[in-house]
Chains A and B, each alone.
Chain A
Amino acid sequence: MIEAQGLTKDYGDKRAVDGLSFTVRPGVVTGFLGPNGSGKSTTMRLVLGLDRPNQGDVTVNGKHYREFAAPLHEVGALLEARSVHTGRSAYYHLLALAQTHGIPKSRVRELIDLVGLHDVAKKRAGKFSLGMGQRLGIATALLGDPATLLLDEPVNGLDPEGIHWIRNLLKGLAAEGRTVFVSSHLMSEMAMTADHLIVIGRGRLIADASVDEFVRRASGGVVQVRSPQATELRELVLGEQATVTGSEPGLLEVSGLTAPQIGELAAAHGIVLHELAPQQASLEDAFMELTRDDVEFRADGSAAGQSSEKVTG
């Protein structure tokens, strides 16, 4: 359980995190979502005690991170910017961190095998690709078998196979009852991995909701239905107090009913459906809509806020 209360952090006169309060619960994957520069990495650094908040407080399982007698067993962290000495091999990097807690060498080897770095374990980490670096970071986070995981953009630089692996890993860790807090700037990624979402923009909390709820809210409950009997279905759906729009023949966009409700309605009347799709494509759009005012750097180059020098992710 991670609890943040009114967390605020300034770097110079730039406010990176602004009065952020949230709770991350064990047993589920919590996605931490926000555009680049919205304060995700700063928040994670505050949780780990690497930076100190100007105001507010954050605890992990009721304690400040610095108070832990065995921090690596409490929290495993993957930090966004690589946190590895480029001249040291993956093996010695992990070993040096393991030794601070008396974690045995066998554990280091076990994790190197688990993340698939066996063949390059003795190579200097500076020669690693982004994906290999991420794998090393994940091994680092898992070293102490921690109850809480804090992963900043873990899928960055991973190949599709690696991304798939991470998703399964995160779900597995949460299923074991651990607290899993994962940041990303990609809504689509989070929609597939997370159960709960905390969305921030420009350091402020924008949304704190389950993924289902967020999806429902964000997509406006639109379901796309394709049917050769569209006209018939349209009448039925309208009879259920739902609204329907349709841009092409045979295609309905229904709001006010869920996909299962539409499917059952169609089945009850013997209507053939060729497609029944909750409009999740609009999720990404909704996220962008939600955070539009909070994106620090726009594609046209103009900054949304007054401050522009430092990107603190």
Chain B
Amino acid sequence: MSDLTGPVTIPRLAEPGRLTQARVVVSEWTKLHSLRSTRWSLLAAVVLTIGLPMLIAAVVASHWDQMSLRERSNHSPLDMALAGVGVAQLAIAVLGVLVITGEYSTGMIRASFTAVPKRLPVLWAKAAVFAVVTFVLMLPSVLIGFFASQAILARHHILQISFGDPGIGRAVVGGAVYLVLVGVLALSIGAILRNTAGSISAFAALFFVIPPLLNILPSSWNDAISPYLPSNAGQAFLVTSNPGGLSPWPGLALFIGYTALGLAIAAVLLVRRDT
């Protein structure tokens, strides 16, 4: 500490600024990239999205000669290319939750809301920054995953599809879009529950526990409910045919609806609740 005797004066601030939404976005970008957990989660998502399709393509290709015709017909090259998305969504969801619950658990949220007392700009900025970062990283990842797995399969002259084939390009790019929405939905769950463990459990229940549970119900119930679950609606956008499920665009629209609903509930609670 500087001078120890006599009154301490702080240097004056030359140009007082104002609070704007754009500035809150810049602030949230700083918050996101300055944490180690962000870098590890995103790295995991990228590695999984690129690596898993390549690994699976290599394994399938090496076993192709021993496979029966029926077994061969079970392998879809598109599913292979997007195999990493299903796993990466967990990393993205955990990070989405942490973006907000990390502030609650450490008390940072009080500093954030003291700087931005209207609060909503913080939520919008968090969602926007996280969505853009996820998309910018995951779009190249799904594309590399697709082309790399196709390249491996091409060496064995099997399971060739083209990015330009009907629905293929949409589904591959859809992998990145799906991950963005998963991330924002997870962030909303985090903002609603304000607790890391609770939010991750809630996400896992919604995406990994409830869907298989529905299979136990009478099939008439299952058929009526299953397609409309967030996970199934969103994943409808990642396939070219979806028997019994929603078609791609309605599926995506419904998934966007869930995400928007989550964000809206989070916004209402954020403004109303004490910190």
A115 lies within 8 A of B1 (CB): yes
B8 touches A89 (CB 8 A): no
Partner of B10, one of A77, A101, A173: A173
Q: Does B108 touch A at the CB level, under 8 Å?
A: yes
Size category, B interface: 35 or more
Given A50-B110, A85-B103, A116-B2, the answer on whether A145 and B16 have CB atoms closer than 8 Å is yes
Minimum distance in angstroms from B29 CB to a CB of chain A:
9
> What B residues does A113 contact at CB under 8 A?
2
Choose, from A64-72, A232-240, A243-251, A276-284, the stretch at the interface. A64-72
Smallest beta-carbon distance B135→chain A, Å = 22
Indicate whether B155 reaches chain A with its CB closer than 8 angstroms.
no
- Pick from A158-166, A179-187, A302-310 the stretch touching chain B: A158-166
What B residues does A161 contact at CB under 8 A? 1, 4
A100 touches B37 (CB 8 A): no
Determine whether A130 belongs to the interface, using a CB cutoff of 8 Å to chain B. Answer: no
**Which chain A residues border B30 with CB–CB below 8 Å?**
92, 95-96, 99
Q: Is the CB of A100 within 8 A of B274?
A: no
- Kindly supply a per-residue 1/0 record for chain B positions 1-42, scoring 1 wherever the CB is within 8 Å of any chain A CB and 0 otherwise: 111111111111100111110011011101100111100000
- Chain B contacts of A73 at CB under 8 A? 13, 16-17
Is the CB–CB distance between B18 and A101 below 8 Å? yes
Q: A45-B275, A68-B117, A97-B27 are in contact. Are A86 and B106 (CB under 8 A)?
A: yes
The 18 sampled A-B contact pairs (Cβ below 8 Å) are A50-B113, A50-B274, A70-B17, A71-B114, A73-B16, A79-B114, A81-B110, A86-B106, A87-B35, A87-B37, A88-B35, A89-B34, A102-B23, A110-B11, A114-B11, A144-B13, A169-B10, A171-B7
Contact of B27 among A88, A100, A173 (CB under 8 A): A100
In the assembled complex, the Cα of A116 lies from the Cα of B8 at a distance in Å of: 13
Within the complex, which residue of B2, B13, B27, B275 is in contact with A51, where a contact is CB–CB below 8 Å?
A: B275
Q: Does B131 contact A (CB under 8 A)?
A: no
Chain A, Cβ-Cβ closest to B10: A142
In the complex, whether B118 has a CB less than 8 A from a CB of chain A is yes
State whether B9 touches A176 (Cβ < 8 A).
yes
A51 → chain B closest CB, angstroms:
4
> Which partner residue on chain A sits nearest B26 by CB separation?
A99
In the bound assembly, the distance between CA atoms of A101 and B21 in angstroms comes to: 10
Contact, CB under 8 Å: B36 / A87 = yes
Query: In the assembly, what is the distance between CA of A175 and CA of B113, in Å?
Result: 29
A15 at the interface (CB under 8 A from B): no
Could you tell me if B7 and A50 are in contact, using CB atoms closer than 8 angstroms? Answer: no
Output the least CB separation between B108 and chain A (Å): 4
Across the interface, which residues of B come within 8 angstroms of A231, CB to CB? Answer: none
B17 proximity list for chain A (CB < 8 A): 70, 73, 101-103
Residues of A within 8 A of B4 (CB): 161, 164-165, 168
Given A100-B19, A102-B18: A82 touches B8 (CB 8 Å cut-off): no
Q: Which residues of A contact B7 (CB under 8 A)?
A: 168-169, 171-172, 175
Q: A50-B114, A84-B107, A176-B9 are in contact. Are A162 and B35 (CB under 8 A)?
A: no
Q: Which residues of chain B (132-161) have a CB below 8 Å from chain A?
A: none
Apart from A84-B108, A101-B19, 7 more pairs, CB < 8 Å: A77-B114, A82-B107, A83-B111, A84-B106, A96-B28, A101-B16, A103-B17
Q: Is residue A140 within 8 Å, beta carbon to beta carbon, of the partner chain? A: yes
Contacting residues, chain B, for A140 (C-beta < 8 A): 111
- Chain B residues contacting A82 (CB-CB under 8 Å) are 106-107
Residues 48-69 of B, flagged 1 when their CB comes within 8 A of A and 0 if not, give 0000000000000000000000
Q: Is the CB of B10 within 8 A of A114?
A: yes
A48 at interface (Cβ–Cβ under 8 A)? Answer: yes
A100–B116 CB distance below 8 A = yes
Say if the beta carbon of A52 comes within 8 Å of chain B: yes
Of the residues A51, A72, A88, A111, contact of B274 by C-beta under 8 Å? A51
Knowing A65-B117, A84-B108, say if A101 contacts B23 (CB, 8 Å): yes
Query: Is B102 engaged at the interface, CB distance under 8 Å to the other chain?
Result: yes
A-chain residues with CB within 8 Å of residue B107 when the two chains form the complex = 79, 81-84
Assess the B275–A85 pair: CB atoms within 8 A. Answer: no
CB of B115 within 8 A of chain A?
Answer: yes
Q: Are B35 and A85 in contact (CB under 8 A)?
A: yes
Query: Which chain A residue lies CB-closest to B31?
Result: A96
- Which residue in A66, A88, A99, A115 is a CB contact (below 8 Å) of B118? A66
Chain A residues, CB < 8 A from B111:
79, 83-84, 93, 97, 140
Chain B nearest Cβ from A238, distance in angstroms? 43
Complex Cα gap A97–B19 (Å) = 11
The answer to whether B108 touches A83 (Cβ under 8 A) is: yes
Q: Is A49 an interface residue (CB 8 A)?
A: yes
Q: B6 touching A168 by the CB < 8 A rule?
A: yes
